[in-house]
Amino acid sequence: MWVVFLKKSCLRYHFLVLGLLALQQVIAAPEKHSNSSGNPQISTLKKNTSQGHSLAPYVFLKDLSTDTVLMDKDSEVRMPPSSMTKILTAYVIFKALKEGALKLSDHFVVSPEAAKKEGSNMVLNPGQSVSIKDLLIGVIAASGNNACCVLAQGLAGSEEGFCELMNQEALNLGAKNSRFKNASGLPDPEHWSTCRDLALFSEKTLQNFPQEYKDYYAIQEFTFNKAKHLNRNLLLRNGFSDGFKTGKTDAGKCGMVASSQREGRRLLLVVNGIANEILRAQEARRLLDWGFSFFVPAIVASPSKPFTSIAVKGGKADSIQLVTLKTAGISLPRLLLNKGQVKVEHFSHALAPVKKGQPMGRIQILVPEKTPMVFTLVADQDVAALSFWDKIKHFFHSAIK
Using an 8 Å Cβ cutoff, are 56 and 257 in contact?
A: no
Q: Is the pLDDT of residue 39 over 60?
A: no
**Among 17-21, 89-93, 360-364, whose mean pLDDT is lowest?**
17-21
pLDDT of amino acid 52: 73
User: What span, in angstroms and rounded, lies between the C-alpha atoms of 10 and 365?
Assistant: 12
pLDDT digits (tens, 9 = 90+) for 112-139: 999 999 999 999 999 999 999 999 999 9
User: What span, in angstroms and rounded, lies between the C-alpha atoms of 357 and 379?
Assistant: 5
pLDDT of amino acid 307: 95
User: What span, in angstroms and rounded, lies between the C-alpha atoms of 83 and 173?
Assistant: 19
pLDDT digits (tens, 9 = 90+) for 239-250: 999 999 999 999
pLDDT digits (tens, 9 = 90+) for 318-345: 999 999 999 999 999 988 888 889 999 9
pLDDT of amino acid 22: 24
pLDDT of amino acid 399: 63
| Active-site residue set | 83, 86, 143
Half-sphere exposure of 192 (CA within 13 A, CB side): 11
pLDDT of amino acid 396: 65
User: What span, in angstroms and rounded, lies between the C-alpha atoms of 381 and 248?
Assistant: 50
Nearest to 65 by CA among 335, 331, 381, 384: 331
Cβ neighbours of residue 163 under 8 Å, at least 6 residues apart? 152, 180, 181, 182, 183
Name the β-bridge partners of 243: 259
The SS3 assignment for 140 reads helix
pLDDT of amino acid 395: 65
Q: How far is CA 316 from CA 32, 312, 351, 353, 393, in A?
A: 30, 9, 11, 9, 12
Count CB atoms within 10 A of the CB of residue 146.
27
Give the residue-averaged pLDDT of 160-172.
98
User: What span, in angstroms and rounded, lies between the C-alpha atoms of 58 and 355?
Assistant: 45
Q: Is the pLDDT of residue 2 over 60?
A: no
387: confidence class by pLDDT, cuts 50, 70, 90:
confident
Q: What are phi and psi of 360, to 5 degrees?
A: -130, -5
Average pLDDT of the residues of the chain:
87
- Start-to-end CA span in the chain (Å): 29
Using an 8 Å Cβ cutoff, are 175 and 201 in contact?
A: yes
Give the residue-averaged pLDDT of 364-393.
88
pLDDT of amino acid 134: 98
Q: Is the pLDDT of residue 175 over 80?
A: yes
Using an 8 Å Cβ cutoff, are 303 and 326 in contact?
A: yes
Cβ neighbours of residue 126 under 8 Å, at least 6 residues apart? 110, 111, 112, 115
Give the residue-averaged pLDDT of 93-106.
98
pLDDT of amino acid 34: 33
Q: Is the pLDDT of residue 47 over 50?
A: no
Q: How far is CA 167 from CA 45, 112, 193, 288, in A?
A: 30, 25, 11, 30
User: What span, in angstroms and rounded, lies between the C-alpha atoms of 98 and 94?
Assistant: 6
DSSP 8-state secondary structure symbol assigned to residue 335? G
User: What span, in angstroms and rounded, lies between the C-alpha atoms of 231 and 19?
Assistant: 47
Give the residue-averaged pLDDT of 34-38.
35
pLDDT of amino acid 263: 92
User: What span, in angstroms and rounded, lies between the C-alpha atoms of 365 and 256?
Assistant: 32
The SS3 assignment for 35 reads coil
Q: Is the pLDDT of residue 354 over 70?
A: yes
Nearest to 173 by CA among 139, 196, 147, 140: 196
Kindly write down the DSSP assignment for every residue of 108-127, as one continuous string: EEPPHHHHT--SS-----TT
Q: What are phi and psi of 279, to 5 degrees?
A: -60, -35
DSSP 8-state secondary structure symbol assigned to residue 320? E
User: What span, in angstroms and rounded, lies between the C-alpha atoms of 8 and 338?
Assistant: 8
pLDDT of amino acid 125: 96
Q: Is the pLDDT of residue 10 over 50?
A: no
Q: How far is C-alpha 112 from the geometric centre of its chain's CA atoms? A: 38
The SS3 assignment for 39 reads coil
The percent of residues in the chain predicted with pLDDT above 70, rounded, is 85
Cβ-based burial of 21 (10 A; exposed 0-12, middle 13-18, buried ≥19): exposed
Domains of the chain: 2-42+299-388 (2.60.410.10), 76-231 (3.40.710.10)
User: What span, in angstroms and rounded, lies between the C-alpha atoms of 95 and 34?
Assistant: 34
